[in-house]
């Protein structure tokens, strides 16, 4: 397992331990994690802090040039909001744990020139599948259903 | 002036008074404001709380059905991140103060079936034009340049 995806999974597990949606993400620049985060809907009542958004927020204010040389790792396919944040900041590459339990806006990201790598990781799949089965109402709310 | 756009402008002005980027937004459901906010980059060091995102965050957790019957008012054309949030939550209509100082992801929103109304409001234009002239580095950072 890639150590950066492992860090994203660690974030997802931390979120789960807090009673939250188990999705984690890390922002990597120059071979180093500069931001890490996980979904905060349950923990903070947040509707904007998906895992990817939380990682970006925790990375803090950065010059545009840093984003344009960064890679975002996320345990789940990025939803339209997180995809939009990736496009806003010009992050050129996203590594995705899995996209079977939820397929985000990958088509739009690719059309806009973002390189996506989907790992189809069984740990990421199992984290989401179990959570969705146990808490479908939270999950549906998290993706606006 | 539409009272909801006036509320969004009031939010933008409050942001400016706090030393922030003057962009404001309100979420309206059933003829009532249920969330209001403004850009928080300067005030909180936030890279995700654009005006629209702050209004959604302040509206709190909502059933998907509420978003799908809501209108988002924003003083400035929504960037890719905010456009993605609009799509995630299925907000069907967005009223935009102006899109001359910055044109967001309006094409993508329209392609996805969102109804946009652009007011080309001189107050909204003047707020942004003045801020961009005075603080170009903050503005460029806010849109990932």
- In tens, the pLDDT along B49-73 reads 999 999 999 999 999 999 999 999 9
What pLDDT does residue B66 have? 97
How far is CA B14 from each of CA A145, B20, B89, rounded to the nearest angstrom? 33, 8, 26
Phi, psi of B23 (to 5 degrees): -130, 125
User: Looking at residue B79, what DSSP letter applies?
Assistant: P
Tokens at residue B39, please? Answer: 């850009």
Instruction: Tell me: pLDDT of B130 over 80.
Output: yes
How far A117 CA sits from the closest chain B CA (Å)?
21
Output the average pLDDT for chain A: 97
Q: List the single best residue of B51, B70, B85, B110 to mutate versus A (max A Cβ within 10 A).
A: B85
Q: Which residues of B touch A143 (CB under 8 A)?
A: 88
How do residues A32-63 score in pLDDT, each as one tens digit? 999 999 999 999 999 999 999 999 999 999 99
Residues in contact with B19: Cβ distance below 8 Å, sequence separation at least 6, in sequence order: B42, B43
B135 confidence band (pLDDT: 50, 70, 90): very high
Across the range B98-127, mean pLDDT stands at 97
**Contact criterion met (CB < 8 Å) for A84 and B81:** yes
Phi, psi of B89 (to 5 degrees): -90, 0
Q: Which residues of B touch A34 (CB under 8 A)?
A: none
Does this model's pTM top 0.90? yes
Is B18 among the residues known to form the active site?
Answer: no
- B82 close to A (CB below 8 A): yes
**CB nearest A61 (choices: B41, B62, B83):** B41
Across the range B74-101, mean pLDDT stands at 98
A22 confidence band (pLDDT: 50, 70, 90): very high
What pLDDT does residue A2 have? 87
Q: Which residues of A touch B48 (CB under 8 A)?
A: 48-49, 53, 56-57, 85
Q: How many CB atoms lie within 10 A of CB A18?
A: 15
Instruction: Tell me: pLDDT of A1 over 80.
Output: no
Report the b/e string of B25-52 with b at 16+ CB within 10 A.
bbbbbeeebbbbbbbbbbeeebbbbbbb
What pLDDT does residue B122 have? 98
Phi, psi of B50 (to 5 degrees): -65, 170
Across the range A9-35, mean pLDDT stands at 98
- B141 close to A (CB below 8 A): yes
Across the range B91-103, mean pLDDT stands at 98
């Amino acid at each position: 397992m890639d150590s950066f995806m492992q860090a994203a999974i660690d974030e997802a597990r931390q979120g789960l331990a807090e009673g939250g949606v188990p999705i984690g993400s890390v922002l990597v620049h120059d071979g180093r994690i500069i931001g890490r985060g996980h979904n905060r809907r349950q923990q903070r009542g947040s509707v904007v802090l998906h895992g990817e958004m939380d990682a970006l927020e925790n990375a803090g204010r950065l010059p545009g040039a840093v984003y344009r040389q960064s890679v975002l790792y996320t345990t789940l396919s990025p939803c339209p909001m997180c995809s939009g944040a990736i496009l806003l900041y010009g992050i050129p590459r996203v590594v995705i744990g899995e996209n079977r339990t939820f397929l985000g806006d990958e088509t739009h990201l690719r059309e806009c020139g973002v390189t996506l790598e989907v790992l189809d990781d069984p740990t990421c799949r199992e984290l989401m599948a179990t959570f969705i089965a146990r808490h479908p109402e939270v999950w549906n709310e998290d993706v606006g259903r």
